[in-house]
């Protein structure tokens, strides 16, 4: 059986690895001239680590990812609002490295660049996977009337420091007024950081001075991280989301996956995590059910509620995170967070990170 995967982002390449694990022949068709990920770091939450484990790649990712350090949420003076013990955490990696690890599990012949798919009709395959991102043409062809992705109200800057920081540097999220700053140490000591702020859409400045203006006076180590960042490495993206989910993730022999199916705000760090989950569930369904239509029905039934739920929670996390900018609202939110026992915070997080991956093997 042969699958054609449209789009070679993290979702498409992870799906290719998963499908090969259950005995499918795959080809990933990517429009860009080469495979890889631009961008800074990315956080793999425990659910994604389980999906990567099913792909046989979790240890490799752990080796290049965040060491076991504690983490938490702080206010902009650095006062702790929520503490999370070491071990309960996200594993952050450089996006390019994660993509490389996934690609390393695929033979070269599966990866085709410079190929923009304009219609899936002519693809010679038993299954077509639309993994072509938030502006998915595959989704548009399946559901032409579905409203397009919308601006989610915030813009985000990201980069990675050029120099390593102390090994014990903690994972952190700092909530200011209408702005948040995230700190995610990578395995080699460099630090991935992001800053998100409420702003009108369309801003393009990647000037580090803008980030300094927003958060450069916040608690240690934020100013030091910005000082250690080469200005020409800063990326900026407006945050968009697919607010109206498609009525199905499947139609005929086509399945949607990742941002093509459920582009969500990044406030829970779950977009790529759930994209990787998608590929594992799709492959497991194809291995378990006798026919592609049966497997796709199962895939849709499993994944659509999950995509909708995580996207909704992510939107909510933004609303109570950096979308709050009135000082009274921020103080009230911070008071509630500080009063919350750690166990309650961890439980809240585990409502979406507790996802278990199906095992992948050709005979299941």
Residues of this chain that bind ligand FAD (CB under 6 A): 6-12, 29-32, 42-43, 116-117, 131-133, 137, 156, 158, 194, 237, 239, 258-260, 266, 269-273, 275
CB of 59 to ligand FAD, least distance (A): 19
Cα–Cα distance, 318 to 249 (Å, whole number): 25
Instruction: Tell me phi and psi for residue 237, to 5 degrees.
Output: -140, 135
| Residue 182 structure tokens | 């995230």
Q: Judged by CB, which is closer to ligand FAD: 307, or 334?
A: 307
Q: Judged by CB, which is closer to ligand FAD: 37, or 302?
A: 37
For the chain, give the longest Cα–Cα distance.
59
CB of 221 to ligand FAD, least distance (A): 19
Is 218 within 8 Å of 76 (Cβ atoms)? yes
Q: Judged by CB, which is closer to ligand FAD: 100, or 289?
A: 100
CB of 15 to ligand FAD, least distance (A): 9
CB of 239 to ligand FAD, least distance (A): 6
Q: Judged by CB, which is closer to ligand FAD: 113, or 297?
A: 113
CA 2 to chain centre: 27
Length of the chain: 364
CB of 93 to ligand FAD, least distance (A): 10
HEC-encoded secondary structure of 283-337: HHHHHHCCCHHHHHHHHHHHHHHHHHHHHHHHHHHHHHCCCCCCHHHHHHHHHHH
CB of 28 to ligand FAD, least distance (A): 9
Round to the nearest angstrom and report the end-to-end CA distance of the chain: 15
Q: Judged by CB, which is closer to ligand FAD: 193, or 218?
A: 193
Name the strand (E) or helix (H) holding 129: strand 127-130
What is the residue whose two structure tokens read 């259950």?
A: 22
CB of 125 to ligand FAD, least distance (A): 14
Alpha helices, H only, the chain: 10-21, 46-54, 58-64, 95-103, 137-142, 208-215, 222-227, 259-262, 271-288, 292-320, 327-339, 342-353
CB of 36 to ligand FAD, least distance (A): 9
Q: Judged by CB, which is closer to ligand FAD: 34, or 145?
A: 34
Q: Judged by CB, which is closer to ligand FAD: 7, or 153?
A: 7
CA torsion angle 153 49 112 149 (round to 10): -20
> Which residues contact residue 302 at a Cβ distance below 8 angstroms, ignoring those fewer than 6 apart?
281, 285
Q: Judged by CB, which is closer to ligand FAD: 256, or 286?
A: 256
């Amino acid at each position: 059986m042969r699958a054609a995967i449209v789009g070679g982002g993290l979702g498409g390449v992870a799906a290719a690895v998963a499908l090969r694990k259950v005995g499918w022949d795959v080809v990933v068709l990517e429009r860009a001239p080469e495979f890889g990920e631009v961008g800074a770091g990315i956080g793999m939450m425990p659910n994604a680590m389980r999906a990567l484990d099913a792909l046989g790649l979790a240890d490799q990712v752990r080796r290049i990812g965040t060491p076991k350090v504690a983490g938490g949420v702080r206010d902009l003076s650095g006062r702790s609002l929520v503490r999370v013990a070491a071990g309960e955490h996200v594993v952050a990696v450089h996006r390019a490295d994660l993509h490389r690890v996934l690609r390393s599990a695929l033979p070269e012949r599966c990866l085709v660049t410079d190929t923009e798919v304009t219609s899936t009709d002519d693809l010679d395959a038993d299954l077509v996977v639309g993994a072509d991102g938030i502006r998915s043409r595959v989704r548009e062809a399946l559901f032409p009337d579905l409203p397009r992705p919308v601006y989610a109200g915030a813009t985000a800057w990201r980069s990675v420091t050029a120099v390593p920081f102390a090994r014990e540097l903690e994972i952190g999220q700092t909530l200011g007024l209408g702005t948040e700053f995230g700190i995610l140490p990578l395995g080699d000591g460099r630090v991935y950081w992001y800053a998100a702020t409420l702003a009108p859409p369309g801003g393009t400045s990647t000037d580090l001075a803008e980030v300094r203006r927003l958060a450069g006076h916040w608690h240690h180590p934020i100013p030091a991280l910005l000082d250690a960042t080469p200005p020409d490495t800063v990326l900026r993206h407006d945050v968009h989301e697919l607010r109206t989910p498609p009525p199905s993730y499947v139609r005929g022999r086509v399945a949607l996956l990742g941002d093509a199916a459920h582009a969500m705000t990044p406030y829970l760090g779950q977009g790529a995590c759930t994209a990787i989950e998608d590929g594992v569930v799709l492959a497991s369904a194809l291995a378990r059910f006798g026919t592609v239509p049966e497997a796709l029905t199962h895939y849709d039934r499993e994944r659509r509620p999950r995509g909708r739920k995580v996207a909704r929670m992510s939107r909510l996390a933004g609303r109570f995170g950096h979308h709050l900018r009135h000082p009274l609202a921020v103080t009230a939110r911070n008071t509630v967070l500080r009063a919350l026992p750690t166990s309650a915070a961890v439980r809240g997080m585990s409502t979406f990170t507790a996802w278990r991956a199906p095992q992948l093997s050709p005979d299941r």
